[in-house]
């Protein structure tokens, strides 16, 4: 969602703020803005659209000052206009915000009675109005914020700057993440540690309800009750490489190409150098004690969970329930004591997934997460956090995080099968051996990406694309359709192959490409029958299969992409590659903004 940065130092703030906002732009790119205090004078600059527009604005109208706050916006309340861009300023107060103030209408009505009229359509401005009113009544900035915070309902990370205060920022967190960075004679605030990467690796994470008074020489943190809270300073290993495309045209291309390497690292972490047994961090998981699994996530991470359902059921014979977090949390399902609740999230900050985790906290036997960002809220609030080790993912469309999520989930299912005695030693050895070979097989699939690129010119002409898959390929078909929609803006739907004739087949005509994902496994012949039904109605089939599958099914198909042969259990991880490449090249052919597609943001910290 929105990204927040604050700088209180000995250098000009504006260049630092803009540089840090570049690292936060993945959180939103509807508008950007900064405010600084120079000799006690508060001023701001804002611009609609990408950060580059703010940079241009700052060339024409520079902003001096050694303290400042900045924001990159993903619009929730109010359209993405300059007037709605953060920082919002009222009287002596400027504020940037990530989250939603749910009671802003009530607060506005109250402020209106005092004759205060908002200038923007945003919920955030109400925070500035309220705080400014308290300051105008004679409260100090600290007292004014302390009075404002308990009045706000919803989720927020807030950062305040004050006219007349060259050495003060106040930060507050409830529901949305916020980190304080410690420097020498300088201090910083950011939505995540990565935003602060070039500035410091000494980080304090604010806890729920915390707020912090920050000066150049001090950071004082208060809890929700107003008591001074001692929060640890952590040494965080920061990924300075994140804004580098390493010669690729897009971050997404770089991240697709990185998959052999990051999968290799994840496998080494869980399998060790010998690669012959799975070791989970901490005390691990006792699967023999568990009766069922509940898997919860959003978007691509949800499709990773759907795939894992097949694995846990088939390999470990465990009952599995899967749900999207936004439905799960409001359904309030019974969670029985023998349940392991498992949450999958790249960012570890997705608001719905975090809320679902909190719902399960006191109900489930154990709460486990599969995350990319090790210091994220979801990781920190889990009994056990399993890293996927994908490295920083910048492209809004998730690629390497998906394949790493799948890999960790498969390792978990194999470990569950081993512990529960549903997987014999030979099959276990086969699967681990196949996994060890996976990075190089994935590398071959990426190197063979030319067919996907060649096809994309025709796919880019389509209005609609269908994706079909059966068994383990069904969740992957859903993921392929999601990738296609989000970056190429082509309408794409996915169906379980067997469902086609129950309705969706009506959509088929010669203008609709149908992507069929079907390795030559036990279900292949069934899928081929469904493919014939499509072709009989003029549908253009793009078959993604292995050599044996393509040879067996060749008659009448429009195009094919040949994949290396793998153990069928691993096929979702391998077949993720053509799904990503098709979407990527189609988006490039259409000329869309691949890394920052319209209306989206990478980290969804609002409901």
Site residues for ligand F6R per CB under 6 A: 298-301, 345-347, 350, 353, 397-398, 482, 486, 604
Residue 184 C-alpha from the chain's centroid: 32
Residue 538 C-alpha from the chain's centroid: 38
As measured in angstroms, the least distance from the Cβ of 397 to ligand F6R is 4
H/E stretch holding 293 reads strand 292-297
Query: What are the structure tokens assigned to 11, written together?
Result: 């250098």
Residue (of 226, 197, 200) closest to 211 by Cα position: 226
Residue 90 vs 388, nearer CB to ligand F6R: 388
Rounded to whole angstroms, the Cα distance separating 549 from 562 reads 9
Which residue's CB comes closest to ligand F6R?
Answer: 299
Residue 141 C-alpha from the chain's centroid: 34
Identified catalytic residue from 2, 305, 360, 404: 2
Residue 326 vs 419, nearer CB to ligand F6R: 326
Rounded to whole angstroms, the Cα distance separating 443 from 501 reads 36
As measured in angstroms, the least distance from the Cβ of 542 to ligand F6R is 21
Q: What is the DSSP string of 81-145?
A: -TTTPSSEEETTEEEEEEEEETTHHHHHHHHHHTT---SSS-SHHHHHHHHHHHHHTT--HHHHH
As measured in angstroms, the least distance from the Cβ of 302 to ligand F6R is 7
Residue 200 vs 603, nearer CB to ligand F6R: 603
As measured in angstroms, the least distance from the Cβ of 50 to ligand F6R is 19
Cβ distance 4 to 71 under 8 Å?
yes
The residues, ordered by sequence, that sit 6+ positions from 559 with a Cβ below 8 Å of its Cβ are 451, 455, 540, 541, 542, 543
Q: What is the DSSP string of 154-204?
A: EEEEEEEEETT-TT-EEEEEEBS--EEEE-SS-EEEESSGGGGTTT-SEEE
The residues, ordered by sequence, that sit 6+ positions from 225 with a Cβ below 8 Å of its Cβ are none
As measured in angstroms, the least distance from the Cβ of 140 to ligand F6R is 38
Query: What are the structure tokens assigned to 431, written together?
Result: 């699967």
360 among known catalytic residues: no
As measured in angstroms, the least distance from the Cβ of 245 to ligand F6R is 18
As measured in angstroms, the least distance from the Cβ of 403 to ligand F6R is 12
245 among known catalytic residues: no
Residue 267 vs 604, nearer CB to ligand F6R: 604
- Alpha-carbon torsion 522, 524, 527, 528, what sign? negative
Rounded to whole angstroms, the Cα distance separating 585 from 587 reads 5
Cβ distance 569 to 443 under 8 Å?
no
Residue 252 vs 267, nearer CB to ligand F6R: 252
As measured in angstroms, the least distance from the Cβ of 298 to ligand F6R is 4
Q: Where are the alpha helices (DSSP H) in 233-298?
A: 251-257, 259-271
How many Cα atoms sit within 13 Å of 568 on the Cβ side? Answer: 17
Residue (of 341, 398, 356) closest to 373 by Cα position: 398
Q: Where are the alpha helices (DSSP H) in 448-545?
A: 450-459, 473-488, 524-536
> How many residues belong to the chain?
607
Residue (of 130, 30, 154) closest to 85 by Cα position: 30
Residue 222 vs 402, nearer CB to ligand F6R: 402
What angle do the packed helices 124-136 and 141-148 form, to 10 degrees? Answer: 130
As measured in angstroms, the least distance from the Cβ of 467 to ligand F6R is 15
Rounded to whole angstroms, the Cα distance separating 549 from 565 reads 10
Residue 347 vs 419, nearer CB to ligand F6R: 347
Residue 111 vs 573, nearer CB to ligand F6R: 573
β-bridge mates for residue 371, sequence order = 345, 387
Residue 550 vs 583, nearer CB to ligand F6R: 583
Residue (of 335, 554, 569, 339) closest to 438 by Cα position: 569
Residue 178 vs 394, nearer CB to ligand F6R: 394
As measured in angstroms, the least distance from the Cβ of 598 to ligand F6R is 14
Q: Which residues are known to be catalytic?
A: 2, 602
């Amino acid at each position: 969602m929105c990204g927040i940065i604050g700088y209180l130092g000995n250098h000009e703030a504006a260049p630092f703020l803009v540089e840090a906002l570049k690292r936060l732009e993945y959180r939103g790119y509807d508008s950007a803005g900064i405010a600084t205090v120079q000799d006690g004078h508060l001023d701001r600059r804002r611009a609609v659209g990408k950060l580059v527009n703010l940079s241009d604005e700052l060339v024409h109208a520079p902003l001096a000052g050694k303290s400042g706050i900045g924001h990159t916006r993903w619009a929730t309340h109010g359209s993405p206009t300059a007037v709605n861009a953060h920082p919002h300023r009222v009287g002596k107060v400027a504020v940037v915000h990530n989250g939603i103030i749910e009671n802003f209408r009530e607060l506005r009505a109250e402020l209106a009675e005092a004759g205060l009229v908002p200038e923007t359509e945003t919920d955030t401005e109400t925070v500035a109005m309220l705080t400014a009113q308290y300051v105008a009544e004679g409260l100090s900035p600290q007292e004014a914020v302390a009075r404002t915070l308990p009045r706000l309902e919803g989720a927020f990370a807030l950062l305040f700057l004050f006219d007349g205060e060259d050495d003060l920022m106040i930060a507050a967190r409830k529901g949305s993440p916020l980190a304080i960075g410690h420097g020498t004679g300088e201090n910083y605030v950011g939505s995540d540690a990565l935003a602060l990467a070039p500035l410091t690796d000494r980080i304090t994470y604010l806890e729920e309800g915390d707020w912090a008074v920050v000066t150049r020489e001090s950071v004082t943190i208060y809890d929700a009750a107003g008591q001074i809270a001692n929060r640890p300073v952590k040494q965080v290993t920061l990924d300075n490489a994140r804004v580098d495309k390493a010669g690729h045209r897009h971050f997404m291309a770089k991240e697709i190409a990185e998959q052999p390497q990051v999968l290799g690292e994840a496998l080494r972490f869980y399998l060790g150098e010998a690669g012959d047994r799975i070791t989970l961090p901490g005390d691990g998981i006792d699967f023999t004690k568990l009766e069922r699994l509940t898997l919860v996530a959003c978007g691509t991470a949800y499709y990773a969970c759907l795939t894992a359902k097949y694995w846990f059921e088939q390999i470990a014979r465990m009952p599995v329930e899967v749900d999207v977090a936004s439905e799960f949390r409001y359904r309030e399902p019974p969670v029985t004591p023998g349940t392991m609740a498992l949450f999958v999230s790249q960012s570890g900050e997705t608001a719905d997934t975090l809320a679902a985790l909190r719902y399960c906290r006191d109900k489930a036997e154990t709460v486990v997460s599969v995350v990319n960002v090790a210091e994220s809220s979801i990781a920190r609030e889990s009994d056990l956090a399993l890293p996927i080790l994908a490295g920083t993912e910048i492209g809004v469309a998730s690629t390497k995080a998906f394949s790493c999520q799948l890999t960790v989930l498969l390792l978990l299912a194999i470990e569950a099968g081993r512990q529960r005695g549903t997987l014999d030693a030979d099959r276990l050895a086969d699967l681990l051996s196949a996994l060890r070979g996976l990075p190089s097989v994935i590398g071959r699939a990426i190197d063979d990406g030319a067919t996907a690129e060649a096809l994309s010119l025709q796919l880019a002409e389509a209005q609609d694309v269908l994706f079909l898959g059966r068994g383990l390929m069904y969740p992957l078909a859903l993921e392929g359709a999601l990738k296609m929609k989000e970056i190429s803006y082509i309408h794409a739907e996915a169906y379980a192959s067997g469902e086609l004739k129950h309705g969706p087949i009506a959509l088929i005509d010669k203008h609709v490409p149908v992507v069929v994902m079907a390795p030559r496994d036990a279900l292949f012949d069934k899928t081929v029958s469904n493919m014939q039904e499509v072709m009989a109605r003029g549908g253009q089939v793009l078959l993604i299969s292995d050599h044996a599958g393509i040879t067996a099914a060749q008659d009448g198909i429009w195009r094919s992409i040949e994949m290396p042969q793998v153990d069928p259990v691993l096929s979702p991880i391998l077949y993720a590659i053509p799904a990503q490449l098709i979407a990527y090249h189609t988006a490039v052919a259409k000329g869309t903004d691949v890394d920052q597609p319209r209306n989206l943001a990478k980290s969804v910290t609002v409901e």
